[in-house]
Amino acid sequence: MVKNNGIFILSELINEKIHPITYELLGKGRELADKLNTNLSSIILGYNIKELAKELIYYGSDKVYVYDHPLLKNFDILLYKHNIVKLILEEKPSIFLIGATPFGRSLGPRIAAALNTGLTADCIDLDIDEKGNLIQIRPAFSGNIIAYIKTSTRPQMCTIRYKTMKPAIKDIKRNGEIINKNVEILNNKNIEILEIIKAGEINISDANVIVSAGRGLKKPEDFSMIKELADLLGGVVGASRPLVDEGWISKEHQVGFSGNTVKPKLYIACGISGSPQHLFGMRDSEIIIAINIDPSAPIFRIADYGIIGDMYKIIPKLIEEIKRRLKLKNGRNN
């Protein structure tokens, strides 16, 4: 049996609140810790975050290491990395889990390199083998196969894709230990934050309704049709990778293995054939509606409802009918 020194997760903040990926890390981390009969610890960095540390206890942490300092209010990758690496070297956990968000994807490789350990990226599940090793499960070859990976170095590190793990359940009766750590400031970072530019407003992974377009879209201006349908349904616009690669829409809208994993209540795929890369990112949607002119398109194999036909004829009719019903509904309410 491999000696186990506990499991660590790196919590993430967004708009001064705990990012939902943190609760998914805690849910899986708690499951693994119970299997190994060991502790689950969280690391949180920021400014005025002591109250947030309590939340991490309620969601499954046994210990929370808090780094609270004005210089940590904004994400400084070198300062964050330095303090995290120092803690990991001190505590020597066997497993370290990080979210596969832009935050985690920036920090994870730097931390792993500093610790001289391996890092498995974009895991969709984790397990423990009979010897106590972490089994890291991730898609490979654009989702065509599932790889099961073991890391011989310690800590065993991986990043976990958002919306693939079951989040932890809050229990306000849980007790744990909050450990306030001194922040080590770097004097010669050779990096300076000149400006904080706000990212796009869309967070497609949290959307309940997504209307996505694929190669069936003839020109970028036709996204207006997709957006009109999405707006009427209270949703957001998605896209397959080719349209993002063409520069027709920003990457924050991309659904798929190399984009965002989504689990909306309704996913409408317009002119999307259904490559393995795209299906990986949206196959767990509650209801999938596919619109495609090709009856043999792979998207129809996972769709709950399929419409065989030209999206340029079908979508305007959908828009017209939704508007008609909304008008009737509003008329009755008045």
pLDDT value at 114 more than 90: yes
Cα 234 to Cα 23, 123, 272, distances in angstroms: 26, 31, 21
Can you give the pLDDT at residue 237? 97
Could you tell me what percent of the chain has a pLDDT over 70? 94
pLDDT value at 200 more than 60: no
Residue labelled with tokens 């049709």: 225
Can you give the pLDDT at residue 140? 82
Residues 226-260: tens digit of each pLDDT: 999 999 999 999 999 999 999 999 999 999 988 89
- Kindly state the greatest CA–CA separation across the chain: 70
Better pLDDT: 224 or 328: 224
Q: Is residue 84 within a helix (H) or strand (E), and if so which, with residue range? A: helix 77-91
The two three-digit tokens of residue 320, written as one number: 């017209």
Q: What mean pLDDT comes out for the span 82-95?
A: 97
Better pLDDT: 200 or 132: 132
CA distance 153 to 88: 14
pLDDT value at 197 more than 70: no
Q: How big is the CA angle at 158 (ends 212 and 104), to the nearest 5 degrees?
A: 60
List all residues 6 or more positions away from 187 whose beta carbon is below 8 Å from its beta carbon: none
What does residue 324 show for φ and ψ, rounded to 5 degrees? Answer: -60, -45
Query: Residues 77-95, buried b or exposed e (16+ Cβ, 10 A)?
Result: eebbbbbbbebbeebebbb
Q: Model confidence at 199, in pLDDT bands (50, 70, 90)?
A: low
- DSSP helix/strand/coil, 236: strand
Can you give the pLDDT at residue 143? 66
CA pseudo-torsion sign 185, 67, 95, 261: negative
Mean of pLDDT over the chain:
92
Q: Model confidence at 201, in pLDDT bands (50, 70, 90)?
A: low
Among the ranges given (70-74, 192-196, 274-278), the one the predictor scored with the smallest mean pLDDT: 192-196
The two three-digit tokens of residue 227, written as one number: 């957006």
The two three-digit tokens of residue 1, written as one number: 């049996």
- DSSP helix/strand/coil, 325: helix
Q: Model confidence at 189, in pLDDT bands (50, 70, 90)?
A: low
Q: Model confidence at 56, in pLDDT bands (50, 70, 90)?
A: very high
Given a contact cutoff of 8 angstroms between Cβ atoms, the answer to whether 294 and 273 are in contact is yes
Can you give the pLDDT at residue 190? 63
- DSSP helix/strand/coil, 83: helix
Amino acid at 284: D
The two three-digit tokens of residue 252, written as one number: 């924050």
CA distance 204 to 26: 22
Question: Interhelix angle for 223-232 vs 311-333, to 10°?
Answer: 30
Query: Residues 20-54, buried b or exposed e (16+ Cβ, 10 A)?
Result: bbbbbbbbbbbbbbeebebbbbbbbbbeebeebbe
Can you give the pLDDT at residue 334? 59
Can you give the pLDDT at residue 193? 67
CA distance 213 to 142: 19
Can you give the pLDDT at residue 186? 85
Can you give the pLDDT at residue 5? 83
Residues 121-157: tens digit of each pLDDT: 999 999 999 999 999 999 887 667 889 999 999 999 9
Nearest to 278 by CA among 215, 187, 208, 233: 215
User: What pTM does this model have?
Assistant: 0.84
Can you give the pLDDT at residue 272? 97
The two three-digit tokens of residue 46, written as one number: 């920021």
Residues 1-48: tens digit of each pLDDT: 556 789 999 999 998 999 999 999 999 999 999 999 999 999 999 999
Residues 295-309: tens digit of each pLDDT: 999 999 999 999 999
Nearest to 177 by CA among 3, 293, 39, 21: 39
Cα 229 to Cα 221, 254, 261, 325, 328, distances in angstroms: 14, 18, 21, 14, 18
Domains of the chain in sequence order:
7-180 (3.40.50.620), 204-333 (3.40.50.1220)
Q: Is residue 281 within a helix (H) or strand (E), and if so which, with residue range? A: helix 276-282
Can you give the pLDDT at residue 196? 65
- What is the distance in angstroms between the CA of the first residue and the CA of the last residue of the chain? 70
CA distance 20 to 12: 8
